[in-house]
Amino acid sequence: MRQLALELASPPAPTLANFVTGGNAEVLAALRALVAGAACERFIYLWGASGSGRSHLLRAVLCQLGDAGRRVRAYGAGETPVVEDGLEAVGVDDVERLDDQAQIKLFNIFNNLKESSGVLVVTGDRPPARLPLRPDLLTRLAWGLVYEVHALSEDDRRAAVLDYAAARGFTLPSEVTDYLLTRVPRDLSSLRALVDTLDRVSLEQKRAVTVPLAREVLQLVQQKN
């Protein structure tokens, strides 16, 4: 493989539209109602295994609310939330990673948003009752809607990757699809970014998308990481 400045493509921005539904039709419907202002409940807790898409959904909701002019703040895994006046929507990812002080801040954020009719979306890796958090915060998280986000089946992941490649204008051979699905993280963002990178390298080097090319791209990506 000739030398090239290989950069892994950035994953597509998370939206509710590009979330592959799988077994999460009810979750998606609730979140669409939330961003449309048609939901009765404004506090939602999403839990599921790594790669299930819960972080995708959180970011998608906050981005869509922000695009609609709402004042929003999203906190990634391990980030300490900050109590701010005037926020209309807050998202907190991986709540199980918050330390005691961060949990107190989230508790206060919850109360502020409740009084101001704001929106709160929180994600975690397990149901509220099993989270290692302060009892008062656990009670708040369980007050709203609680949904498990189900990981995609292997058939759904395969279909999603093939559809994504087709949308980019090329056919991903079945043997390349098999190779990628067994060697990259389960989350679709990583898979989509790799498909983007593979497509770009194929065009730059005028080579067909094959398992050897996929292997070389993966090796270079792993070396850069």
Q: Where are the domains of the chain?
A: 25-148, 154-224
Residue 110 scores a pLDDT above 80:
yes
Predicted TM-score (pTM) of this structure: 0.85
pLDDT on residue 9? 60
The SS3 assignment for 53 reads coil
Q: Which two tokens stand for residue 176?
A: 């390349």
Higher pLDDT: 189 or 68? It is: 68
Q: Are 123 and 134 in contact (CB under 8 A)?
A: no
Q: Which two tokens stand for residue 151?
A: 């990981």
pLDDT on residue 133? 95
Res. 191 pLDDT band, cuts 50 70 90: confident
Partner residues linked to 89 by β-bridges: 72, 119
- The listed range with the strongest mean pLDDT (2-16, 24-38, 199-213) is 24-38
Task: State the amino acid at position 21 in one-letter form.
Answer: T
DSSP secondary structure code for residue 95 in this structure = G
Q: Which of 126, 164, 168 is nearest to 147 (CA)?
A: 126
Residue 186 scores a pLDDT above 90:
no
CATH code given to domain 25-148: 3.40.50.300
Distance CA 169, CA 219 (A): 25
What fold, for 154-224? Helicase, Ruva Protein; domain 3 (1.10.8)
